Structure formats: structure tokens, C-alpha cells
A and B are shown apart, each in its own frame.
Chain A
Amino acid sequence: MSAIAENGKLKFAGTNSTWRRALSPTGNTGDAIFRVLMLLVALLMVGIVLAMVFALATDSMLSVRQFGFGFLTSQRWDPIKGEFGALPFVYGTIASSLIALLISVPFSLGIAIFLVEQAPHYIARPVAFLVELLAAIPSVVYGLWGIFVLAPVLRQYVEPVLAKTLGWLPLFSGSITGIGLLTGGIILAIMVTPIISAVVRDVLAAVPGSQREAALALGATKWEMIRVVLVNGAPGIAGAVILGLGRAIGETMAVTMVIGNRPQISFSLFDPSYTIASAIANEFTEATGDLYLSSLVELGLILFLVTFVVNGIARILVWNVTRKTGGVGRAA
């Protein structure tokens, strides 16, 4: 390095002041070093992501060339015969995640509204803590609980009732085992609820108090006031939901243990299904043969792209709402 530290200031050989200012606007050596280090760390993260995409893309080339677009539309997954199609996994991933959201979103909204708008502080704090604690439970524990508690309960009490009352729908037909798409979706719902409710809580808290006061001053009831707040926070809530979706799509262990792991497309929620993440986790260890490995990597690439897009959308939506509330709150 041609810079010499002296009196805490950087002196470059050529005393090029533009360089110095770019590295450290305040002209402080410590700041300059810190800045460079942080820049390297940030670039490293970007580099790791790019390296992952690159590795996934190159390692899946064999399967991409062999199956082309058919990989996404084929329903057959037979490692022994060397036929690989991703459609049942894509279906299982999307279906289980959607079930999770259908159950989780109303709960999460309710939790967040209660915590922000209704609960006194001495209740809100512990409740928020307990809900967020759910997010800290390892997913394998959720899976065990799913096998030993949730699945038997669903088999004995919930699914027979659903079959009896709604059995005329293809959604609730088929044999009842307690293991399948519905169980996977419910486990996921419990897992994403803390994430969605925490983000929604922050979004609602970011809606300016003046909005609430204005609504109440105009003679709105509490419920009407909450509606105004919800409308204001709508993009952020959508972002929270999509963040939860991203988590649900990528979740592996808990789902694997209760979804039945069968690559098939069945409209019944009672039937076993399979997700992309589960398939990779299940089959990668013993996968032999280049095409088999390559197909699994291509599954990983699909999963990566889906989560990437979903998280991107979530970011844009959340950014949209927080940017607005940064200034004077706008009425919807």
C-alpha cells in the first residue's frame, strides 16, 4: 500500500484527493479501512449468490439438454429408468405453500391487528414474543410433532369430518391416512405464521397515528379505523405474505416428514404429494449417475429461481409501503 498512516490521516503517494474522498469523505483513515472492508463483505455476498446460480446452471446443463422444456411438463420421475420430470414436485410445492398461506394469512393478520391496535402493552409484548418463538423452533421438531401429533389428530378427527361434509368435492376424496398434502400445508402454515405476523405488525405500526386519529375524528368506529390502517398498509401486508410464501416454498424437513413424498398430481388434499425441496433432500445422498444428479440440480435451480422472484416481489411491496410512511401519511 502506498498510503502512509500519519496522524490518523491517509496520505497517498500522489495525494490524489478524489481517491481519498471516495474512500473516506471525512478524510479519516479508520473510516476508509472500514469502508473498504464493508464493501468487500457486501461484494462477497453478491459473489456467493452469483457463484450459486452459476454452479446450479452448469451442473444442470446435462439434464437441460436431455429433457429441455419437457423437464417442467413431464410427470414421470423414475431414477431407475433414467426418466426425470419436475411437474409433480412443482405442483406439490405450490399447492402446499398455497394451503399454508390460506390458513396462515387470516391468523397472522388477526395476531398483528390485535398486537398493534387492541392489546395493552403488558399483553402485546409476551404474546409477540411467544409468536416469534415459533419461528425459532427447528423444522425437524415441527416434523416430529407432525408425525406423532398432527397426523393422528387429522386422521381421527379432522379428515373424516371433511370427507363426510365436503366429500363430494374432489379436494376431500380418497383414503384417509393423516399423511399428505393437507398435513404438509398445515405444518407450513404454523411455520410461516410468525414470519407473516411479525412483518405485518411492523407494517401496521409504521402507519402514522394521524391516520387513526383522522379516522376516529371523522366518526369512524374502531373497526372502520382498523380498515383504514389495513388499506394503508396493504402493499406491506402483501409483501409479508410473499415473504411467508418464500419460506413455505423452501421449507424442507418438516414437510418431508408429513407430506407422504409421492411424486404425483392429485387434486385430493388427503393424497400424498412431494415438494421440490423434499425431493432434493431425499434423493441427493444416494443419487448415482450423472443424469440423475443433474436432474436434481435442475430441480434446485427451479426452486432457486422461484424463491428469488417471490422474495424480489416481496421486497418491492414492502419498500413501497415503508417509503410512503416515511413522509406524511397519505389517505388511501
Chain B
Amino acid sequence: MSVSKSFRLVACVSALALLVVSIACNSGGSGSTNGSVSLQGAGASFPNPLYQKWMSEYGKVKPNVKLDYQSIGSGGGIKQLKEQTVDFGASDAPMKDEDLKSAPGEILHVPTVLGAVIITYNLEGVTQPLRFSPEVIADIFLGKIKKWNDPKIVADNPGVTLPSSDITVVHRSDSSGTSAVFTDYLSKVSAEWKEKVGAGTSPSWPTGHGGKGNEGVTGQVKNTPNTLGYVELAYAVQNKLPVAQIKNASGNFITPSIDAVTAAASGSLATTPDDLRVSITNAAGADAYPISSYTYILVYKAQKDAAKGKALVDFLWWGIHDGEGFAKDLQYAPLPADIVKRAEAKINSVTANGTALR
């Protein structure tokens, strides 16, 4: 009996030892060894489909660069970049001054593409797209306009028969860059909104139901009559949702489209600062769609690892040139040429150990 037992014991102990050794071996070896570089990024979920496309396409161009992007949300991306656990971050809204100040190094904003937020609704019997003025949208989301046949909505929509039913507002319940862009817009067009609610990823909504994610809002709007909500343009196009026209700063009602979003960026060129941190909601320009925004990749100006830094700037350069070609298919608006030029300057200013990487 004892022979077999001690044998079992030995087997047990050696198996454990093997396990420990193999774990110890696996934990070593990552980063830039034998010519291949791996870059980690994290942040906004809005551009995630595009970034995943970029990474798989870039892998064909530069097989030795391994890219990984986690769409954990803009807030998480900024946090991880500040803690230097990722090589690049991504955010829909530009970083705030206090966030930039508390970061361990200078952070650059490289715009990659543009997106838009659209108003969708579920209103039986209405076939033509509804039109909204900015102040009407603000009043609906403030809970001041309660009925679909409110004179203010009727005034924007001559010839449309609107029901007398209550408007059920649907907004995002999860904190999101989409909400930030939308409330940034409302804060610009309504003083009351700015004072009572303000702009942010997770505002305290005066009225309405919350749905989780674009899909949650869409699910509620599609399944509940007389609802109105906001979602990303890309999501609305892919799901063929009814989309409202919105009156822009020039007084034209604009159907959201990729071109109208790029027009909003072009219309804001004069007011775009050097660091490219800019809100382009309610932009100037006759064709500009008013609820548009940039999305950014965030990088440190002074890179610690020259090999990684070089791979990063090369990837960004490829992104704002070749990568823009994939934007339209995925319903993102490409950058206007002037912004590409200014983004190039940002990428060229990245250094490692004091020397430029491009």
C-alpha cells in the first residue's frame, strides 16, 4: 500500500512543481523583442469598429506591429493613459484642462474621424422625416414640450399631421460620449439647458427613460410608440432608423449624413485651436450638421520607448491617410484635408529621448 501512496505523492508534488515552473516561464517576455512591437490602446467605444478595421488592415502593411485596442469607454481610456498602462488612449470628447495638467507628460490630441448624434423617433403614420429646431429639441428633453402636436413642433413641420399623444423621451442610461456630444449641443443652443443640466457623459436628465447603449435606446424607441431618442449616426444608418432633420446655425434643416458631418468640421476650422481640442456642435456653414464631433487618439508627446514610439507615430500617420479610406464604409465621416494637415503636424511633433520620430 505504501509504495503506491508515496508514488502518488511524488507524482502530485512534481505536477505542482511543473505547474509553477510553467507559469513562471509564461509571465516573462512581452514588449519589443526581436523586431516586433506590440502597442496597447484603450478608450472610446464609438470609434471601436473603425479602429478594429484599422488594426487588421495595418497588420497586412506592417506585420511586425501588433496592435490591440480595448473599447472600455473614453473615461477609462483617459484614466489608463494617465496611469501609463496603455501606449495610446482614445476619447470622443477632448480632455479637460485639469486632466491634461494632472497627466505625467504632455498629451497630444490626434483627431481620427468624425461622428454625429441623430434624433430618431417612433411615430405611427408619419412617413416624411420630422424637422426640429434646436430650441424645440432642448424643450423636449427639458420636459417642457410634452405633446407631439405642440405648436412649436407643428411650426417646424408644416403639412405633417402630428398626434396629440405624450412624447416619451429615451436617453442613454450608461454614461457615454454620445450623451456628452448631445448635451454639449443642447448647452450651446439653450441657456436653460446649460444652467439646469449642463454637458457631460452622464447628465441628470430632467425627463425620460434610460436605455443601455445605442441598442438599448433603439430597442425602446422601436418598441414603444410616440418615443423620441438620440443615437449615433453610424448605428442609425446600419439599423435604418427614422432620422430627423435638424436646423443648423445657418437656419437650414440638415439631414444627418457623412458629408454634412465633414462640413461641420470644415465650418469650424477658423475656431479650431492649435491643440485641436474643439467642440464642433452647432457649427457654422450652410450644410453643416449641428450635432457632430471629432473622436481622438491620445498620445504622449515624449515617448519613453523609441521603438514603440516610432511604431505608434507610423500607425497614426497611416490612420489619418490610408485609414481614412475605411471610414465611410463604416459610417464615420473622414477628416477635412485641412485637419489632416494639422494632425500631421501633431504626429510629427512626437519625440523619443528628445529626437523626432518621423
Contacts and interface: CB of A to CB of B under 8 A. Distances in A.
A286 B2 contact: no
Contact of A262 (B72, B75, B166, B209): B209
Interface in A124-175: 147-148, 151-152, 155, 175
A263 B211 CA distance: 13
Nearest to A156: B225
B200 interface: yes
Interface stretch (B174-182, B240-248, B252-260, B350-358): B174-182
Contact of A286 (B5, B9, B75): B75
Contact of A7 (B2, B75, B211): B2
Given A5-B6, A175-B166, A80 B200 contact: yes
Nearest to B12: A33
A29 B5 contact: yes
Contacts of B223: 147-148, 151-152, 178
Contact of A79 (B73, B79, B200): B200
A285 B174 contact: yes
A99 to B, nearest CB: 18
A278 to B, nearest CB: 8
A177 B224 contact: yes
A178 B122 CA distance: 15
Nearest to B226: A177
Contacts, number: 122
A80 B203 contact: yes
A12 B280 CA distance: 77
A15 interface: no
B202 A283 contact: yes
B74 A286 contact: yes
A224 interface: no
B346 to A, nearest CB: 23
B212 interface: yes
Contacts of A244: none
A55 to B, nearest CB: 17
Interface string B199-217: 1111111001111100010
A285 B73 contact: yes
A260 interface: yes
Interface residues of B, number: 42
Interface in B45-82: 72-76, 78-79
A30 interface: yes
A283 B174 contact: yes
A5 B9 contact: yes
A282 B204 contact: no
A198 B75 CA distance: 42
Contacts of A30: 5, 8-9, 12
Contact of A285 (B72, B200, B208): B72
A282 B220 contact: no
A316 interface: no
B212 A175 contact: no
B119 to A, nearest CB: 18
Contacts of A93: none
A261 B204 contact: no
B198 interface: yes
A177 to B, nearest CB: 5
A283 B8 contact: no
A287 interface: yes
Contact of A81 (B2, B5, B173, B198): B198
B356 to A, nearest CB: 32
Nearest to B176: A286
B105 interface: no
Contacts of B216: 147, 256-257
Chain B CB within 10 Å, residue with most, of A6, A148, A263, A287: A287
A155 B224 contact: yes
Interface string A245-266: 0000000000011001111000
A170 to B, nearest CB: 19
A272 B212 CA distance: 13
Contacts of B177: 286
Chain A CB within 10 Å, residue with most, of B177, B202, B220, B227: B202
Given A262-B210, A286-B176, A79 B168 contact: no
A300 to B, nearest CB: 16
Nearest to B212: A256
A162 B204 CA distance: 30
Contacts of A260: 209-210
Nearest to B79: A288
Chain B CB within 10 Å, residue with most, of A148, A178, A285: A285
A78 B196 CA distance: 11
Given A80-B203, A178-B224, A261 B210 contact: yes
Which are the 8 A-B pairs with shortest beta-carbon distances? A261-B210, A261-B173, A286-B175, A285-B73, A78-B204, A286-B75, A8-B2, A80-B200
11 contacts: A7-B2, A8-B5, A28-B5, A30-B12, A78-B203, A80-B197, A272-B208, A287-B175, A287-B202, A288-B78, A288-B201
Given A288-B78, A288-B201, 4 more contacts: A29-B5, A260-B210, A278-B173, A281-B212
Interface of A: 5-9, 28-30, 33, 76-81, 147-148, 151-152, 155, 175, 177-180, 256-257, 260-263, 272, 274, 278, 281-283, 285-288
